[in-house]
Amino acid sequence: MADQTITPTFCRICEAGCGLLATTEGDRVERLDPDKDHVASQGFACVKGLKCANLHHSPDRLDHPMKRVGDRWERISWDKALVEIGAKVRSLRDEHGADAIAGYLGNPAAFGSFHAVAFNAFLEGLGTTQSYSSASQDLTNKYLVAKRLYGHELLQPIPDLDRTDLVVLIGTNPAISQMSVVQVPRAMARLKAIVDRGGRVVSVNPRRTETARAVGDHLFIRPGTDVFLLASFLQVVLAEGAVDQALVDAHTTGFDALPGVVAEWPPERTEAVTGIPADDLRALVADYLAADGASLYCSTGVNMGPHGTLTYWLLNVINAVTGNLDHAGGALVRTPPFDFQKSSKATGLGVSDARPRGGDFDAIPGPCPASLLADDFTTPGDGQIKAMFVSAGNPVLSVGNGDRLAGALDELELLVCIDLFRNETAEHAHYVLPACSWLERPDVPFVHAFAGLQVDPWLQYTEAVVPPAAERREESWIFARLADACGVGLGAGAAGLLTRALGRLRGVPVLGRVAEVSDARLLALVLAVARHPVRTLRRHPHGVRLPDVAGGQFLGKRVFTEDGKVHLAPSDFVTAATGLEADFEAERTDLGLRLITRRERHSHNSWTHNAEPFVGGDRTTNRLHVTAEDADAAGLTDGGRALVRSKTGEVEVEVAVTDDLMPGVVSLPHGWGHAGAGGLTVARAHAGVNANVLTADGPDGIEPLSGMARMTALAVEVEPA
């Protein structure tokens, strides 16, 4: 038996970044175990991380660049693929202009230190404004609100969970997701600790989630009505005069506009649509005001709803005016070891000024909404997209009206996918290029550590656990080569600068090891600038704690609006809030079924179904969850089949009767629908249905302020199939 090596590393599937011990034998990852000595995760890890070696070693992994020739996929050399792609891009760019070339960056890019940087440098070099990403199905409402209130997309207050007395979790299920836009390993242990020390955790959710069952209290809310809940919350706060006037006077503008926004929404009125009794809400507000350090937090259940921007705006206003912003136990904006937001403010690094084509979307903070992609492929005229590069994304399953998008992809003259697998989107590609998985590259928890988004700050450096196999390459290598091949070079901005620095450091390429050497060198550079040199981090293989400052780092110090104040009442938000009357009336009178989004323990968006541990047992498909009451009313039975119909589409799916939903609410996990996946042998056999056949695309499929996709609280009808 060959020698086994154990390497401490960390998982890069979700934002928690859990410490893992990787046991390798030669170039094989034999097992992944939780790292008990990890400074932040302390032995916690979930099944996705622990079983990820099965995905990493899947026989379906891409090893070589592949080209579609008719109906077949043929191996092609990197050199030849780059030359052919480059020639096609040059001719399309000459004929139609730079905006005919688009990029779409998927979720896993957030976990590769230089993935997004290199992608943006490539698009910058091409000179295109057509930059799309999964952020528009995830959190662009949060970007817009932070940009308006605090002057930068990534100044996102995070709940100070380890010190709080009360946290309200709206539209999130940490037991399964580990939360988002904040790095919280062991989220559930931290939430339980709040209750153990006498504090309160309250879930606000149309579903009695795994989180709500395990910790704290739960309030059912009718899907899509969170904005009314928070309007009432703020109405009570202001009516009771429970405002931190010193904070408001010293650090904010716009306070005087707030009473007018919420005056008409006392809890006794909004309970008609939220389903939350006014007394329960008043009691919650009272507890929140009594706590020394409390915060409201929301996630995708709100972001994907009809009022993601207004809801997140009110949430931030409440945390601020009650004195909980920048306060221990409240909502913190931390100063990271390398001030990413500050350098980004100066250089544009990490923010997108992409502009959607047409439409009235002035506020959209970038990237462009992926829900507009199919329109952008098929609408002739200036900026019609002719070629697209998709890296670490699967828009066919992750974007609204997936079937239409799949058809529209076939209109492209060039589609290049950079991925671990030939996924459902790549099925429509002309070329697929093989990327390294996270086990094949060095990293730090780049975005979260450098944007100050950690609940319990730490830093960790991991080497590649195994060298990149076959002809797999890091994205930084791939985008630098693509830029060369397209004859454009990397952009002149910050992303281009960084990636060029990487090029200079790369030295003489040694086949097969180039990518590993290169990202490691660039990381060394960035870590030296951040004053945490790699050699120091290597001495702390289980991570090193960074100073944990509880508040006082933000107000008056790092608010990046022009006047350095928090802008509580951006005029377009105030104007949009006047439209709530009509929405309220519509909610009050339409009592039809609502479909909500949900996540499953063994699924990670669309990409973990291609290995047995993730689709074994009763996990072979996705099911429509329905309450017994609604099942009876619609004539559905547990295990039977249902047709689910929305304005956009229809799916047929197995029914699972449940007691965890609010009556009038059904749920269907997304990320399934693998029937057409020629490159995914296991997933194809456990196909499930694509929930995004039901969600809309185009201008009707987005929240108009931020461009966020509308993926929850959808009106649907169900009937037996």
Ligand X SMILES: Nc1nc2c(c(=O)[nH]1)N[C@H]1C(S)=C(S)[C@@H](COP(=O)(O)OP(=O)(O)OC[C@H]3O[C@@H](n4cnc5c(=O)[nH]c(N)nc54)[C@H](O)[C@@H]3O)O[C@H]1N2
Contacts with ligand SF4, residue ranges (CB under 6 A): 11, 13-14, 16-18, 45-46, 48-49, 178
Contact 554, 146 (CB under 8 A): no
Residues 649-678 interacting with ligand X (rule: CB under 6 A): 670-671
Q: Provide the minimum distance between the beta carbon of 616 and ligand SF4 in the complex, in angstroms, as a whole number.
A: 17
Site for ligand X (CB under 6 A): which residue of 22, 85, 247, 420? 420
Q: Is 176 in the site for ligand X (CB under 6 A)?
A: yes
Site for ligand X (CB under 6 A): which residue of 35, 160, 165, 226? 226
Contact 388, 85 (CB under 8 A): no
Stretch that binds ligand X, among 151-159, 496-504, 579-587, 710-718 (CB under 6 A): 710-718
Tell me phi and psi for residue 311, to 5 degrees. Answer: -65, -45
Q: Name every residue whose Cβ is closer than 8 Å to that of residue 592 and which is 6 or more positions away in sequence.
A: 664, 715, 716, 717
Q: Is 598 in the site for ligand X (CB under 6 A)?
A: yes
The structure tokens listed for 226 are 């969170």
The CA distance from 383 to 370, in Å, is: 15
Q: Is 427 in the site for Mo ion (CB under 5 A)?
A: no
C-alpha distances in angstroms, 141 versus 181, 231, 299, 366, 573? 12, 17, 10, 10, 12
17 binds, among ligand SF4, Mo ion, ligand X, none (CB under 5 to 8 A by kind): ligand SF4
The structure tokens listed for 77 are 């050399």
Interhelix angle 340-347/494-506, rounded to 10 degrees, is 110
- Binding string, residues 430-449; x marks residues near ligand X by CB under 6 A: -----x-xx-----------
The CA distance from 224 to 716, in Å, is: 13
Site for ligand X (CB under 6 A): which residue of 352, 499, 603, 648? 603
| Residue sitting closest to ligand SF4 (CB) | 49
C-alpha distances in angstroms, 463 versus 124, 517, 541, 662? 29, 10, 10, 46
Strands (E), 115-199: 131-133, 158-159, 166-170
697 binds, among ligand SF4, ligand X, Mo ion, none (CB under 5 to 8 A by kind): none
Nearer to ligand SF4, 305 or 442 (CB): 442
Stretch that binds ligand X, among 107-115, 194-202, 381-389, 509-517 (CB under 6 A): 107-115
Stretch that binds ligand X, among 174-182, 288-296, 455-463, 616-624 (CB under 6 A): 174-182
Nearer to Mo ion, 350 or 496 (CB): 350
Tell me phi and psi for residue 518, to 5 degrees. Answer: -70, -50
Q: Provide the minimum distance between the beta carbon of 41 and ligand SF4 in the complex, in angstroms, as a whole number.
A: 7
Q: Provide the minimum distance between the beta carbon of 180 and ligand SF4 in the complex, in angstroms, as a whole number.
A: 11
11 binds, among ligand X, ligand SF4, Mo ion, none (CB under 5 to 8 A by kind): ligand SF4
C-alpha distances in angstroms, 55 versus 31, 315, 539, 717? 12, 38, 30, 36
The CA distance from 1 to 247, in Å, is: 65
Residues 360-419 interacting with ligand X (rule: CB under 6 A): 391-395, 398, 418-419
Q: Provide the minimum distance between the beta carbon of 136 and ligand X in the complex, in angstroms, as a whole number.
A: 9
18 binds, among Mo ion, ligand X, ligand SF4, none (CB under 5 to 8 A by kind): ligand SF4
Q: Provide the minimum distance between the beta carbon of 537 and Mo ion in the complex, in angstroms, as a whole number.
A: 28
Q: Which helix (H) or strand (E) holds 433?
A: strand 431-434
Residues 104-143 interacting with Mo ion (rule: CB under 5 A): 138
Stretch that binds ligand X, among 134-142, 159-167, 518-526, 535-543 (CB under 6 A): 134-142
Stretch that binds ligand X, among 93-101, 172-180, 327-335, 342-350 (CB under 6 A): 172-180
In which residue are the tokens 């996630």 written? 299
Name beta bridge partners: 25: 4, 28
Number of residues interacting with ligand X: please give it, by CB under 6 A. 64
Nearer to ligand SF4, 158 or 229 (CB): 158
Q: Is 299 in the site for ligand X (CB under 6 A)?
A: yes
Nearer to ligand SF4, 34 or 366 (CB): 34
Site for ligand X (CB under 6 A): which residue of 34, 86, 151, 206? 206
Nearer to ligand SF4, 46 or 238 (CB): 46
The structure tokens listed for 347 are 């250089």
The CA distance from 135 to 612, in Å, is: 29
Nearer to ligand SF4, 46 or 374 (CB): 46
The CA distance from 410 to 247, in Å, is: 55
Contact 508, 471 (CB under 8 A): no
| Residue sitting closest to ligand X (CB) | 301
Q: Provide the minimum distance between the beta carbon of 700 and ligand X in the complex, in angstroms, as a whole number.
A: 15
Site for ligand X (CB under 6 A): which residue of 65, 108, 337, 649? 108
Nearer to Mo ion, 138 or 165 (CB): 138
Report CA torsion sign: 630, 632, 636, 642. Answer: negative
In which residue are the tokens 């930059």 written? 131
Q: Provide the minimum distance between the beta carbon of 464 and ligand SF4 in the complex, in angstroms, as a whole number.
A: 17
- DSSP, res 315: H
The CA distance from 141 to 171, in Å, is: 14
Nearer to ligand SF4, 177 or 341 (CB): 177
Q: Is 180 in the site for ligand X (CB under 6 A)?
A: yes
Nearer to ligand SF4, 111 or 132 (CB): 111
Question: What amino acid occupies position 348?
Answer: G
Contact 444, 429 (CB under 8 A): no
| Residue sitting closest to Mo ion (CB) | 138
Closest CA to 441 of 536, 544, 543, 515: 515
Q: How many residues does the chain have?
A: 721
Contact 280, 249 (CB under 8 A): no
Burial (CB count within 10 angstroms: exposed 0-12, middle 13-18, buried 19+), residue 79: exposed
Q: Is 217 left (phi over 0), alpha (psi -120 to 50) or beta?
A: beta
- DSSP, res 565: S
Tell me phi and psi for residue 441, to 5 degrees. Answer: -145, 155
Q: Provide the minimum distance between the beta carbon of 177 and ligand SF4 in the complex, in angstroms, as a whole number.
A: 9
Q: Provide the minimum distance between the beta carbon of 48 and ligand SF4 in the complex, in angstroms, as a whole number.
A: 4
Q: Provide the minimum distance between the beta carbon of 23 and ligand SF4 in the complex, in angstroms, as a whole number.
A: 16
- Binding string, residues 230-259; x marks residues near ligand X by CB under 6 A: ------------------------------
Question: What amino acid occupies position 155?
Answer: L
Site residues for ligand X per CB under 6 A: 14, 106-108, 112, 134, 137-138, 170-173, 176-180, 204-207, 209, 221, 223-224, 226, 299-302, 305, 391-395, 398, 418-421, 423, 435, 437-438, 475, 596-599, 601, 603-607, 670-671, 691-692, 695, 711-713
Site residues for Mo ion per CB under 5 A: 138
